[in-house]
Structure 1
């Protein structure tokens, strides 16, 4: 749908400024697979002379030769023989003249040779520091890219900037989604905010037609995308696939995940940590918790499309392949979309209200979809999101007020506000009650106006 590179205005401006600077620049560009790193780097190269090289998984000498071949295609009429990295560096600075050099998937060099950070430290210090070359290193291995910024890493202090490229929020994705606002919420709930997945949407078709043709069709690129991505990340993917399916089905705590997947409890944490490090899982905790790794924390899928695929497609693949029309007709996505709608409602508060901490809250059997804190001014907001076909009435506000009394956070001094979010609006009685001033009501029209005003 989006036909290639999609809007990353802030990030593109940052890279443009780096390229136009008078001195050497080293930019780290990282994020999970399919988030748009390569497209962003290539967008810069369309505007400025430069070299693009993607590292492949091969023996170290082959990696050097491949890099030299990419450079020679752009800035030299010959391809020299190189015996080591020193030869590559010396030759590059002899033929370069202020170009941009993009090395895509830089962590693959490190995986083959763990001395690469030290070698590139020398490259920067002895060859590049006095030039106006811009070196952009990209990577999907988030942990390895973040290690390059660590104090003990040889490249520490050499970078001049970094971009941690994330999936689009709903607010940012709206211009890329088809249909009316309600349709856009449902499309985002299924396809999420990864540009490559948004690019697969056919805007001329309804959501369920897109699910059938773009996801369920065995020849569609998204049909096996989550499985293939996990296989790319892990040599033995079976346990990781089982964990993702388990979390998508509602097992969110380590013990329940271990029981559901038959992975020993003492081993489950290392698998969870690896999935979290590549942003396929997120560890969240009640927003009022002060402990960063609270026992109350839960695991959720870090991507809407992955959550949809592991919840509905992966465990039913035989039905999906045998009769995609019947499978799609049997899908009931109301509860699933309602869960994603909660995330969108938290975005609303982030866009419109001044609360530094926004999340959710739960304790035992009680849950509150939206809780926002302003610790400096002792303010707290409680909100509930309802994705249903009937209006929300006063009883929902009463239940929200009752649950709010169980939230232990500055109970004697806090200023409380409440918010209700509804797909189908609100009853007249609730609107009258909300007129008192401590309750905000958000129907889809108001939510749409909030996002339009904040873009």
Structure 2
């Protein structure tokens, strides 16, 4: 698949690597997010790119030496007893200004905990160092501990720290060459992970890809979450359990604690860890302080994870017995619309700042609570402008059968009874699969998947 996006990250990398003084650059992010493909865009002739694995240190050094020997003649003819001698030997013989890339750096550190301290000594001798060093890794927690944690030997040494995150839906549309409506549906399954897009592209349709690569026990992504968890923790069971509970509807801390059979006080740290890894998020109603834990909901934030824990985990036994077609037809087809609607809502919230360019708006959030008539009410999207003079109140409806005029009337009623309006200009926003109105009311903005996907490019 063609390489897409990452323009800002590549620009930062190239600028750093053009410096006359040696640079330390750290790149990290979850597996399959595109770190290796991105780094390959900046590798120059003469650079050295080593991908570590989980073998013992002695074997890793020998393997690394053989790679270096393709650039430095006979480098592998010597036995290097430890990493310090290895790197100092490279430094003595390497051409000044060369970049040394070490991919999956945490694998080396697992078997040689002294390695960060060795690199620290080399980096602190900048006047003697002849190469740039780029460290990359999929273990997010380990990379943070080795570089960002103030106790780490490499703390404060990095000239660039780049965390790769998921790509936006607009790039998925280009990668899959699909319509805007299809882009929303595809994104609700594969999310913003480029490697998933490649796997999807190997199949003729979304249905074929889901059945072959996710539902089938031999599929590349059938055990994907557990592989991801192993990068960052030994306690994969706890993460697996918590995400499974949240994905199936237990969103309050008390509900999660009840389902898992533990007091709420024992869940704060593991939930925070999963949030830091990017798999779940806290959701708090518009206008409520983040300190208000009673209102907090926990939601699965990554589309593929939500899809996996909604459709694969509950049907694991059935799928392992080979009933792939039956699960797809009886479970997935009946529930997919609801699943896609959740992802669509979140896309609409994220798109707001690019949809309203005359004022600076924050991304939208959901609101729920009692309205001014003391009735329970929920609003899909609420966002205020940076100057707090304007307030967007919006609804996201994925169904194409709903009467848009009726939805607008419902939205107007919600706006009138919304209790948090403070002398602000109200802007109504409606997000629909298809705009069937010939004329749009003056106070209403209507957006379709085309608008949202373009805004998220």
TM-score grouping bracket, smaller chain normalisation: 0.7 to 0.9
Relative to structure 1, the CA distance from residue 279 to residue 51 in structure 2 (aligned partners, 3 Å threshold; closer, same or farther) is: same
Task: Please tell me whether the aligned partners of residues 48 and 100 of structure 1 are also in contact (alpha carbons under 8 angstroms).
Answer: no
Q: Give distance in 2, aligned partners of 1:27 and 1:403.
A: 50
CA-based RMSD of the aligned residues comes to: 2.7
Matching residue of 1:241: 240
Matching residue of 1:366: 377
Which of 125, 130, 135 in structure 1 is aligned with 2:133?
135
Relative to structure 1, the CA distance from residue 123 to residue 404 in structure 2 (aligned partners, 3 Å threshold; closer, same or farther) is: farther
Q: Give distance in 1, aligned partners of 2:157 and 2:280.
A: 31
Q: Give distance in 2, aligned partners of 1:261 and 1:329.
A: 31
Matching residue of 1:195: 194
1:179 matched to 2:178: yes
Relative to structure 1, the CA distance from residue 380 to residue 144 in structure 2 (aligned partners, 3 Å threshold; closer, same or farther) is: farther
Task: Please tell me whether the aligned partners of residues 27 and 135 of structure 2 are also in contact (alpha carbons under 8 angstroms).
Answer: yes
Q: How far 1:406 sits from its partner (Å)?
A: 5.9
Gaps of 5+ in 1: none
1:412 matched to 2:410: no
Q: How far 1:232 sits from its partner (Å)?
A: 4.4
Q: Which moved more, 1:23-32 or 1:200-209?
A: 200-209
Q: Which moved more, 1:293-302 or 1:35-44?
A: 293-302
Relative to structure 1, the CA distance from residue 406 to residue 51 in structure 2 (aligned partners, 3 Å threshold; closer, same or farther) is: farther
Q: How far 1:336 sits from its partner (Å)?
A: 0.6
Relative to structure 1, the CA distance from residue 326 to residue 62 in structure 2 (aligned partners, 3 Å threshold; closer, same or farther) is: same
Task: Please tell me whether the aligned partners of residues 24 and 130 of structure 1 are also in contact (alpha carbons under 8 angstroms).
Answer: no
Task: Please tell me whether the aligned partners of residues 36 and 196 of structure 1 are also in contact (alpha carbons under 8 angstroms).
Answer: yes
What is the TM-score when the length of structure 2 is the normalising length? Answer: 0.87
Q: Which moved more, 1:383-392 or 1:151-160?
A: 151-160
Matching residue of 2:142: 144
Which of 348, 352, 355 in structure 2 is aligned with 1:349?
352
Task: Please tell me whether the aligned partners of residues 80 and 86 of structure 2 are also in contact (alpha carbons under 8 angstroms).
Answer: yes
Matching residue of 1:423: 433
| Residues 275-308 of structure 1, C-alpha deviations (whole Å, 9 max, x = no match) | 2222222223234334367542222223211110
Relative to structure 1, the CA distance from residue 404 to residue 117 in structure 2 (aligned partners, 3 Å threshold; closer, same or farther) is: farther
1:412 is paired with a residue of what secondary structure? coil
Matching residue of 1:383: 394
2:344 is paired with a residue of what secondary structure? helix
Aligned residues: 442
Gaps of 5+ in 2: 370-375
Relative to structure 1, the CA distance from residue 285 to residue 119 in structure 2 (aligned partners, 3 Å threshold; closer, same or farther) is: farther
Q: Which moved more, 1:17-26 or 1:151-160?
A: 151-160
Matching residue of 1:160: 159
2:234 is paired with a residue of what secondary structure? coil
Q: Give distance in 2, aligned partners of 1:293 and 1:162.
A: 32
Matching residue of 1:77: 74
Q: How far 1:59 sits from its partner (Å)?
A: 4.8
Task: Please tell me whether the aligned partners of residues 432 and 447 of structure 2 are also in contact (alpha carbons under 8 angstroms).
Answer: yes
Relative to structure 1, the CA distance from residue 263 to residue 60 in structure 2 (aligned partners, 3 Å threshold; closer, same or farther) is: farther
What is the TM-score when the length of structure 1 is the normalising length? Answer: 0.87
